[in-house]
Structure 1
């Protein structure tokens, strides 16, 4: 299976199953599209017809000839023989073994506070309340959650814990105490905790920044970009905007971490389909680690992204990619989370097939100790897995998530991006289709575009090094 596309002057061919990427000229690009379905004589005839037309002849460096076409065909044949083009599915035979693999819990999302000091209009957590259950996690529940993670992590040493909300800084003392407890347990059990904090920034101060710099492997800072966009969707409980309060704090934290081990994370909606301007705004403020994600909302919401918005959004991704190329040339480079692909190695097979590990390796814990497959399933009682006192009680649900992969979803089987998104988000599938083995169609279209832009950026990077 191959995927061909043109972007920013590059002719790009992705061999899906091997992950190999080829940047080719116009002639080879066209021959590849015919190679598997036409014989040599037909390919020669079609290419001679196309490139004999004056306006097309200028696309080639050399005049079209049978010899030039045969040279292109030979090049493609060699790539196929070398296993980098038209390769067979390398994972299909692995799927039975994959479904029966042993899993351990690697990461927990601790809902430190089901409460929030903002009233974000698109919040899936309903302003931190998660279906009406406002609560604060106690130190005792948090300790039990960390103990659960240690016991269920098997031989894995590195463990991930995200302090999440609502707004976790509304319960900061428990965050501090749990980190201390975790550090004590590391020595006893030969584990290492990688802590993450996700915050809206209202309560950030010098003491919290210092603590985060000492203990947090990553800090996620929520900001939607331009002031008018941010304040419209992320007001405080009294209706006033929060941009002016949080921005100087975020700049200070980012600088204090040497512009690494953090990212500013925004959400764009139908209100700002020109979201590239929000990313550019954040970049020009000096932030080097940026994420801007599309809102996932049911269509009845006024800010929801619809299918008719997809072409506009795709144009914005192209615009952003071109801006990033220019910024890098000018010495102002930054990372955009959705354009970051490791094309040389990338994730392991399990990650390529199943993604984030929701329901198996990654779990969420509520303030009262209930365990759910991830933070977006919290409050969906049919997906309550167990609790920190008794452990996992719904092994059937865990098995369901273990079998959820790119081969269990019909929409993934012929998608060129399947090994990059790993089948998409199970929570989004449940939200739109009431099961975890489907896909969120708008999200799929945008993911495909992001993959295309990511590969083009790599091509531009290599082009600039030559």
Structure 2
């Protein structure tokens, strides 16, 4: 399977199964899908036969004659250029970097039956918040339930549960989340201290992170975070007018003027590493590339601005006609991103991160974040959910931190969810980059974790195209 597309003046061919990327001339670009189809019709697959390492002259001649007979490319290119283009395609095929077979499908049965360990927890230490963000999936911190703060007892039990269920895994991740976790800061500190106190005994290493709206951030908290936490996520939507319209305080006042200086201090104190300023864009600011630019101009080097996920009836939700506009914005942003990097003023945009050489392991490629089996969400009273986005839907309570997993059927369903259990992923070039997308979004929009979220898929495909193009542009 290949994906051929044009972006920002580049002709790009992605070999989906091997992950190989080829920047090609116009001749090869116009030929590659034609040759793929002709090979499939002849052999049932476009992949090179096992053991073939060179171009077979007879095959080259046959394909050349077929192209001349069945296409109008002879009126566009010279005979020599067409023949050279076909030969280049066949050489790439023989080198196992074009038209390769699916190397993962045969692995999926073993993958579904693999033994899993819990490696990460999202601790909802505060089902409460001092902001009233319009798009908040957590219902202003309540998660469609009641306001509550996690006790030290529940938090310690959660860390004990993680250690007990992590098997031989040494590195464990814990994200302090909310609502606004700084509303329960004393418990957060005590849980970090408890985690550090048991690391050596169990041969574990906790990597703590925290996600905050910044309103309660101060120098004392920052000093502790910088010492103990691997990452900090700072919520801001971009330009002042955008942020303050969507992220007001309970009284309606904006928070931009308060949080920006704090965030700049965080970024500098962490040497522009191990943090993200993280925003959400909606139907109200389809020109979100301007918000990313604004954050970059404020001096932030680690930026993530992500599309809202909302019910169609919400006024800020995306409409079908918004998607082409958003895709154009990603193209604009990609060009700006390249420009800044070439000027020596580059920044990191989360959704343009892509590793074309190593990339994630097979398990990550097939199943993504590991929600429901390797990654779990914990409520203030200790209930376990597949992830923080399922919190509040009691059909997905998997157990609690004191008794452990009491619904292994839910765990097993998530464990078996992967790109091969989602029919739509079978024809998608992005499947090994998005790993099938978010299970919570799939469920919320389709009632099935093995479905896909249409708008999310369309935007993910566009971001991947931009990310690959950026790699090509910066490699020149």
With normalisation by structure 2, the TM-score equals: 0.94
Contact 2:124–2:377 at 8 Å: present in 1 too? yes
Q: Which residue does 2:465 correspond to in 1?
A: 452
CA distance in 1, matches of 2:366, 2:205: 26
Map of 1:353-364 to 2, 5 A cutoff?
Answer: 353-364=366-377
Q: 2:44 aligned with 1:44, yes or no?
A: no
Please give the per-residue CA displacement for 1:8-31, whole angstroms capped at 9, x wherever unaligned. 110000000110000000001111
1:112 is paired with a residue of what secondary structure? strand
Q: 2:334 aligned with 1:334, yes or no?
A: no
Contact 2:145–2:392 at 8 Å: present in 1 too? no
Q: 2:300 aligned with 1:276, yes or no?
A: no
Map of 1:47-446 to 2, 5 A cutoff?
Answer: 49-50=72-73, 52=75, 64-446=77-459
CA distance in 1, matches of 2:350, 2:407: 34
Please give the per-residue CA displacement for 1:433-455, whole angstroms capped at 9, x wherever unaligned. 11111010000000000000000
Q: Which residue does 1:6 correspond to in 2?
A: 6
2:224 is paired with a residue of what secondary structure? helix
CA distance in 1, matches of 2:69, 2:475: 34
2:132 is paired with a residue of what secondary structure? coil
CA RMSD of aligned residues (A): 1.0
How many residue pairs get aligned? The number is 452
Displacement of 1:50? 3.9
Comparing 407-416 with 34-43, which one deviates more in the overlay?
34-43
Q: Which residue does 1:59 correspond to in 2?
A: none
CA distance in 1, matches of 2:121, 2:83: 56
CA distance in 1, matches of 2:249, 2:321: 31
CA distance in 1, matches of 2:69, 2:215: 67
Please give the per-residue CA displacement for 1:20-60, whole angstroms capped at 9, x wherever unaligned. 0000000011111210234321323567x44645xxxxxxx
In structure 1, runs of 5+ residues without a counterpart are: 54-63
Q: Which residue does 1:16 correspond to in 2?
A: 16
Displacement of 1:67? 2.3
Comparing 37-46 with 350-359, which one deviates more in the overlay?
37-46
1:439 is paired with a residue of what secondary structure? coil
1:123 is paired with a residue of what secondary structure? coil
Contact 2:376–2:386 at 8 Å: present in 1 too? yes
With normalisation by structure 1, the TM-score equals: 0.96
